[in-house]
Amino acid sequence: MPPILFVILLLLVSGPSPVGAQDAPLVYIDPGHGGDQPGVVEDGLEEEDLVLRWGFLVAEAFAAAGYETRMSRTGDVGPGFQERVDEARALGADLFLSLHINRDDDPELWGTEIFLAEDQPGSVAAAEAVAEALEGIGARVTLIGQPWEVLASPDLPTLMVELGHLTHPVERRLMVSRDFWEEAAAALVVGAGEVLGRP
């Protein structure tokens, strides 16, 4: 058989190249704190436990939407934030989402806060898209620019998302609600899709 015909036959048998995981954006999901860093502790609830529990749900939502995902931790360990960012960059991540829960001395204060480096266009675009998506499920979102070195990643849009306040009685109930976190996870996927070119 002539070589060219063999190549054509092989292509026909093999079929089209699949659109595999290597073509999917990688979202690095960071459940904050862990180890000896419990984060916010309020009314018997610990931030580190809640964001890990729901971090798995967020990862599942992104995976179901066709993204690759990697989590910074899957147990009670506490790598440093810079270590997490460095790992995400080494993996070639397209978006870094650090999940947190807030607190305030004023129990009436509520809402979602997204921390970002205002001089990083990729992070600004991601923050605005995620904020719009979260507002679509009723969240009150504030974007807060911070000059923290760990947020200054020109090659990796990096967001620290404080989804609510454990010190607010209504939001405290939301922070333990699977329904809320399913909605929040879906909104994060929608927001990410706006900047990563995914439906």
Distance CA 105, CA 40 (A): 12
pLDDT score for 25: 97
Per the structure block, which two tokens stand in for 22?
């290597």
pLDDT at 23: 82
Among candidate residues 94, 95, 72, the one with its CA nearest the CA of residue 83: 72
What percent of the chain is predicted at pLDDT more than 70? Answer: 88
pLDDT of 127: 98
The better pLDDT of the pair 21, 161 is held by: 161
**Are 133 and 187 spatial neighbours (Cβ–Cβ below 8 Å)?**
yes
What integer pLDDT is reported at residue 36 of this predicted model? 94
Sheet holding 112-116, edge to edge: 68-71, 26-31, 95-102, 158-165, 112-116, 141-145
How confident is the model at residue 8, as a pLDDT? 34
Whether the pLDDT of residue 4 is over 60: the answer is no
pLDDT band with cut points at 50, 70 and 90 for residue 199: low
pLDDT at 153: 86
The full length of the chain comes to 199
Using alpha carbons, select from 50, 70, 71, 69 the residue that is nearest to residue 178.
50
Tell me the pLDDT band of 86, cut-offs 50, 70 and 90.
very high
pLDDT, one tens digit per residue, over 41-85 is 999 999 999 999 999 999 999 999 999 999 999 999 999 999 999
* Helices (H), ranges, 26-108: 47-64, 81-90
The per-residue pLDDT for 10 is 31
Residue 16 has pLDDT above 80, yes or no: no
- Grouping H, G, I as helix, E, B as strand and the rest as coil, residue 134 is helix
- Annotate 88-102 with b (16+ C-beta within 10 A) or e (fewer): beeeebbbbbbbbbb
Segment 97-124 shows an average pLDDT of 97
Instruction: Supply the pLDDT for residue 22.
Output: 54
Q: What is the pLDDT of residues 123-179, one digit of tens each?
A: 999 999 999 999 999 999 999 999 998 899 889 999 999 999 999 999 999 999 999
Q: Which domains are seen in the chain, by residue range?
A: 21-196 (3.40.630.40)
Asked if the model's pLDDT at residue 6 lies above 50, the reply is no
Location of structure tokens 């921390």: 115
